[in-house]
Structure 1
Amino acid sequence: EFQNYTIDDFNGDEKTGVVPIYNGPSGVWNVRRANQPCEICLVNPDGNLMLNGTWYDPAATVVFSFIGTDIWVYCALAGQWEGGITTDSHLKLLLDGAIVDSFDWSPTPSAPQFTYHQAVLSAKDLENKEHIVAVQSGPKLGASSLILFDYVLYTAEEHLTSTQAQPIPTQGTIESTPDKKEGSIQIGLGLGIGLGIFFAGTALWIGTYFTRRRRRKRVQRDPRQTIVGGSKPAGGSYIPLLDTRRSAPHITTQPASSQSHLPLPLVAEPDASSNSDVNPFPIPPIFWGELGVSRKEVEMLRQSADEPPRYPGR
C-alpha cells in the first residue's frame, strides 16, 4: 500500500517529524511567516498561499532524507520585478549524491507576480529505501538564483504488519459486534423450520381431502345402504328391494299405490328347532310372485323329464 507524506519547510516530515537542514552563509536563510512579513526583503509572496503559511529564502542548499519511491519539490516562483531585482530560479536535485533533475526559471514580462505550489524538481520509480536529498540553488552562467522553498511531497510503500492488518478487538467490540456466521445459521434454521411446517401442513390437508373423498365414494357405492323403501327391523338384516318399475314376462308386479314402494313384511327365518328365537328379516313383496312362477316351472320340468310310475298289474 502506498501513502503520500509531506516535509514542510518549517514543521518538517509529517511522518517522522525531522526538519530539513539549511546550509549556506550565516543569516542567508530566513523562515518567512504570513503573519510576520519581512520589511527589508524585496520579494514578499503571500504567506497565506504557502503550505502552513511559511517558506524559506533566498539561496544555498536544503538537505533532508526520506524513505519512499517518489519525490516532488514544491516552490513559489516570482515574476519580473523593477529595480534590477533578480527573480530567476536555477535549481538542482541531488539524490544520494547524484544529480537526477534540474530546473531553470526566467520569468517573462507577462508572467504573474507570484505562482504558488509549483513542482520544480522530482524523482520517480526509486527503490523503497532511505534516500538523502539535497536541493541546490546556484547561479547559471553568472546569473543569480532565487528559491522560495515551500515543501516536499514523497510516496512511501507501507507494509502492513499482522497487527495492523487484523487488530485485536476489545471486549466491548466483541460484545457489540454481531457474529455474521451465527446470524446466517439462525436465519437458515428459521427458514428451514418454516418450510418444513408449511409442507407438512400441505401434505396433511391433501391426505385428509382424498381420504374423505374415498370414503364418500365408497358409501355411495355400497348397495346395503341404498335401500328403496322399507325399514331396518330390530335384530334383522338388510335385503335390497327390487325396483317395481322392472318388468319381465315371468314376473308379476304388484299394483302401484300412492307410495313408490310397499312396506316390507316381516317373516321368520327358517330354523331346525321350533323353539328357536324368531329372527325377522324383510322380504320384498314381489318375491312371492316370483316364488310361485318358479314352482310351476320346476313342476313342468319334472313332469317332462320323469315318466309316470308303473304299478304291477296295471
Structure 2
Amino acid sequence: MDIRYIDDQYGDLVTGEVPVYSPQGSWTQGAECTGCGFHPASDQAFNNTWHDTTTHHTYDFPRTVQFNFTGTSLDVYCIIPNSPNPTLTSTYNLTFILDDQLLSQTFTHESDLSNNSWYNVSVLSLNNLTPVSHTFAMMAASTMVNSTLKFDYARYLSPSSHSTSSSTHVSLLSTSTSSNRISVAVIVGTTIGGIFFLCLLVILVFCYHRYKHRIKQLFFVASLRIRTDESESTARIDPFIYSSPLHRPIRPSNPGPAHPSTTAPSSITSSAQQMGARTVSAPPSSRR
C-alpha cells in the first residue's frame, strides 16, 4: 500500500489530478488572500497553501470541493480558526458525499474564542473502502448557520503498483482460463451438433429412397393390374354379342313340339312337291 496526498492547490501529487471547487469564483487561495478575515500561518499549512470560502445560509449556494482517488482509506484535513470576534464566521458545518451517496458522518465546530488556528485537523476519516476509483465531495451547506471552510489537503491509502500488477496478472490469467473453457465447450458442442446433423441427413436420405422405391412399386402393381384386367376383358366371350350379322345363328320362329313325329306334316310335303314341280318345269339354260 502507498500513502498518497491530494493538495488543495497542486492536486494529487502522483496522478496530478486537481480538486474542483464550486461555485466558480466563490473560493480563494488563502495564502494569497488579503481581504480574508483570517490569516493562518502559511508555513503551518501543507505545501503552504489552502483554499478558503465562507457561506451565508440565508442567500448563498453551498460551497463544494470535489476530487477523485483510488484507495482503501481517506482522511481529509482542514485549518480551523478560533476567532474571538463574533462578527467573523469561524463556525464549521460540513457534510460529505462518497460515490454519490450522502454519508452519515458530519463535522461541526464553533469557535472557542482563543484566536488560535488549528492545523492538520482531520474533519473526516474513512476506512475499509474497496480498492477502486472513488469520487469524494465535501460541502459547507448549512441552512441554519453561516459556516466557513478552509481545505488544506487529503491523504489516502492506495494499492501499490506491485499489487495492482499482480491483480491485473491474476485477472488476465482468470480471463484466459475462462476463455479456454469456453473454447473447449464451443468445440465439443459444434462436434456433437455436426454428428447429429449428419445422422439426421442420412436418415432423411434413407427415408426418401425408401419412399421413392415404394411409390415405384405401387405404380408398377397398379399398371400390371390394369393390363391384366384389359386382357381378361378382351378374352371373355359373350354368346349374345356378335361381331357380324353373317354369323348370326338361325333361330326357328315357331319351334316344333318337344317330341316331333317321324311323319312330316302334309303342309311340308306339299311344299316339297311344289318345289320339285317347279324344278322340273324350269327351262334348260342355254349354252354358247
TM-score by length of 2: 0.51
CA distance in 2, matches of 1:97, 1:122: 17
Q: Relative to 1, partners in 2 of residues 1:159 and 1:27: Cα closer, same or farther, differing over 3 Å?
A: closer
CA distance in 2, matches of 1:163, 1:150: 32
CA distance in 2, matches of 1:162, 1:153: 19
Q: Relative to 1, partners in 2 of residues 1:160 and 1:42: Cα closer, same or farther, differing over 3 Å?
A: same
Structure 2 match to 1:32? 30
CA distance in 2, matches of 1:42, 1:126: 37
Structure 2 match to 1:149? 151
Choose between structure 1 and 2: higher helix proportion.
2
Structure 2 match to 1:124? 127
Structure 2 match to 1:61? 64
Structure 2: tracts of 5 or more residues without a match: 55-62, 167-288
Q: Deviations over 1:80-114 (max 9, x none)?
A: 331511100111121001122210011223x4520
CA distance in 2, matches of 1:163, 1:17: 21
CA distance in 1, matches of 2:120, 2:10: 17
1:106 and 2:110 matched: yes
User: Secondary structure at 2:146's aligned position in 1?
Assistant: coil
CA distance in 2, matches of 1:19, 1:56: 12
The one-letter code of the counterpart of 1:4 is I
Give 4+ residue runs of structure 1 displaced > 3 Å after superposition. 161-164
The one-letter code of the counterpart of 2:146 is S
User: Secondary structure at 1:113's aligned position in 2?
Assistant: coil
Residue pairs, 1:67-78, within 5 angstroms: 67-78=70-81
Structure 1: tracts of 5 or more residues without a match: 165-314
Q: Relative to 1, partners in 2 of residues 1:68 and 1:97: Cα closer, same or farther, differing over 3 Å?
A: same
Q: Is contact 2:27–2:51 with CA below 8 Å preserved after alignment?
A: yes
The one-letter code of the counterpart of 2:36 is C
Q: Is contact 2:81–2:117 with CA below 8 Å preserved after alignment?
A: yes
Residue pairs, 1:234-313, within 5 angstroms: none
Q: Is contact 1:81–1:87 with CA below 8 Å preserved after alignment?
A: no
CA distance in 2, matches of 1:46, 1:72: 22
The one-letter code of the counterpart of 1:58 is T
Percent of paired sites with the same residue = 29
Q: Is contact 1:4–1:154 with CA below 8 Å preserved after alignment?
A: yes
Q: Is contact 2:73–2:156 with CA below 8 Å preserved after alignment?
A: yes
CA distance in 1, matches of 2:164, 2:158: 19
1:49 and 2:53 matched: no
The one-letter code of the counterpart of 1:28 is S
Q: Is contact 2:70–2:133 with CA below 8 Å preserved after alignment?
A: yes
Question: Aligned-pair distance for 1:162?
Answer: 11
Structure 1 match to 2:176? none
Residue pairs, 1:225-240, within 5 angstroms: none
CA distance in 1, matches of 2:111, 2:30: 22
Q: Is contact 2:84–2:112 with CA below 8 Å preserved after alignment?
A: no
TM-score by length of 1: 0.47
Question: Aligned-pair distance for 1:31?
Answer: 1.3
